[in-house]
Amino acid sequence: MKIGVPMEPEGETRVSIVPGSMKKLHKAGFEVLVESGAGVAANYSDSEYSDAGATVGKRSDVMSCEIIISIRMPEASELSKGQIVACVADPFRHPEKVKSCIDSGITLMSMDMIPRRLSRAQSMDVNSSQDNLAGYKAVLLGAAEVPRGIPMMTTSAGTVRPAKVVIMGSGVAGLQAIATAKRLGAVVYASDVRKSAAEQIESVGGRFIEVDGMDDFEDEAGYAKPLTPEFIQKVNDTVCEVASDADIIVTTARIFGRPAPITVPATAIKNFKSGAVVVDMNADVGGNCELTKAGEIHITDNGVIVVGTSNLPGTLANTASMLYSNNLTTFITSLVDKETGFQISEEDDILVGAPEGNDFHVPGMGGVLLCSDGKLHPKQTRLGGIL
């Protein structure tokens, strides 16, 4: 079968498959066509793809392949009935695009729907690989903007105290942010609505901010549950008080398929010190900070710097592409059987989610296969409700 790797739309610097993945894909029996220039923004040249055994060509040839692997979801108008698309479809925010695929008879597999608690899915989890990089880069952006040094320094001119960093949310991105800030020499405080996160925070060098009445607000898929407005307010008040004298504040709270919750209201920003930097990791989905401007860095009236950089993994396009490519290559080759070849099985828990009654089953978040043969997959009940 032929795999097509198209150039991503403007603003997306990553590429879905890198030259280093060619050997594994070829061994599994795939022929790979790459659109000319697809990897340039991520520092992968056409010649590297050619040398690795890929065919570099026109977009029309790439988009006619049986399987399309991309990051952003292609427009249905470029696709044909019977094709298979593996990408990050973000289906709860783009139901109309999913419906277009359904109506066009396209098999759509959304990699952001990987069931995190299946051990064999870990190497295919694009959310984790990209969030790791985003957490790392968020701290670097904060360090670049803050008008002071990060580590403790003892000099003949005096002693510089270490910077105080507060990480709001301690999932994959948050833990990487904590570890990065700690490596830079900061004193790091971190919060999470999941009480179980305390041990993880401390294991990477952070100090856990506990909120009265905190429970383990985590769903079966490993994501944070939506909270009541009252408890959100209590968390905001407690954590923002700790952050009032911080030098860098990184917000990471993201709820799957929903707008980002506000964890730093405008009233809290007024109490932050001048020169403090807020790095909002969720500017692309509404932002955790009430004053975030997506795609911009701006300074508030009281001198707080708010960083709203979108697509943080894309700022590390070379590494992000390599990790994404590894995820997708592992995923797509797992669908190849030595005897029967490439096949999509509805018995595969990664594709369709675990059966009802299994501890891993979460309706609408159970697997990557959203639609096949022009029909919505029957187990995707929550997505079906949206459409």
**Confidence category of residue 378, pLDDT binned at 50, 70, 90:** very low
Percent of the chain with pLDDT over 90: 69
Between CA 36 and CA 46 the distance in angstroms is 6
User: Do 168 and 207 meet the contact criterion of CB atoms below 8 Å apart?
Assistant: no
- The reported pLDDT for the residue numbered 356 is 39
Residues linked to residue 248 through DSSP beta bridges, in sequence order? 165, 277
Query: With 70 as the cut, is the pLDDT of residue 377 above it?
Result: no
Report the pLDDT value the prediction gives residue 359, as an integer from 0 to 100.
Answer: 34
For position 364, what pLDDT does the model report?
41
Query: What confidence tens digit (pLDDT) does each residue in 39-80 have?
Result: 999 999 999 999 999 999 999 999 999 999 999 999 999 999
**What is the structure's pLDDT at 209?**
95
- What would you report as the CA-atom Rg of the chain, rounded to the nearest whole angstrom? 22
When pLDDT is cut at 50, 70 and 90, the band that residue 116 belongs to is confident
pLDDT for the residue 82 = 92
Q: What is the pLDDT of residue 40?
A: 98
> For residue 48, which of 62, 63, 32 has the smallest C-alpha distance?
32
**Given a cut of 70, is residue 267 above it in pLDDT?**
yes
Q: Could you check whether 2-124+317-386 and 133-315 share the same CATH topology? A: yes
pLDDT of residue 49: 98
Give the mean model confidence (pLDDT) for residues 245-264. Answer: 90
Over residues 144-177, the pLDDT tens digits come to: 999 999 999 999 999 999 999 999 999 999 999 9
219 pLDDT tier (thresholds 50, 70, 90) = low
pLDDT per position as a tens digit, 334-354: 999 888 889 888 788 888 864
Q: Which is the CATH superfamily of the domain at 133-315? A: NAD(P)-binding Rossmann-like Domain (3.40.50.720)
pLDDT of residue 148: 96
pLDDT of residue 139: 98
Residue 253 dihedral angles phi and psi, to the nearest 5°? -65, 120
User: What integer pLDDT is reported at residue 354 of this predicted model?
Assistant: 45
Taking CA atoms, 354 is separated from 362, 370, 371, 376, in Å, by: 8, 14, 16, 17
Percent of the chain with pLDDT over 70: 89
pLDDT surpasses 60 at 245: yes
Per-domain boundaries in the chain? 2-124+317-386, 133-315
Token pair belonging to 193: 């609505």
pLDDT at 269 over 60: yes
Q: Let me know: does 63 contact 74? Beta carbons within 8 Å.
A: yes
Residue 42: strand, helix, or coil = helix
Cα 78 to Cα 31, 59, 86, 112, 186: the distances in Å are 20, 10, 14, 22, 49
> What does the pLDDT read at residue 158?
94
What is the model's pLDDT at position 355? 41
Contact criterion met (CB below 8 Å) for 288 and 259: no
Instruction: Please identify every residue annotated as catalytic.
Output: 116, 122, 125, 128, 223
Average pLDDT over residues 194-204: 90
Query: Cβ distance 21 to 84 under 8 Å?
Result: no
- CATH topology assigned to domain 2-124+317-386: Rossmann fold (3.40.50)
Pairing of β 158-160 and β 153-155: antiparallel
Q: Is the pLDDT of residue 261 over 90?
A: no
User: In which band, very low, low, confident or very high, does the pLDDT at 366 lie, cut at 50, 70 and 90?
Assistant: low
Section 224-236 average pLDDT:
75
What's residue 387's pLDDT?
Answer: 29
Which H helix or E strand runs over 29?
Answer: none
Residue range 9-15: mean pLDDT, rounded: 96
Q: Say whether pLDDT at 363 is over 50.
A: no
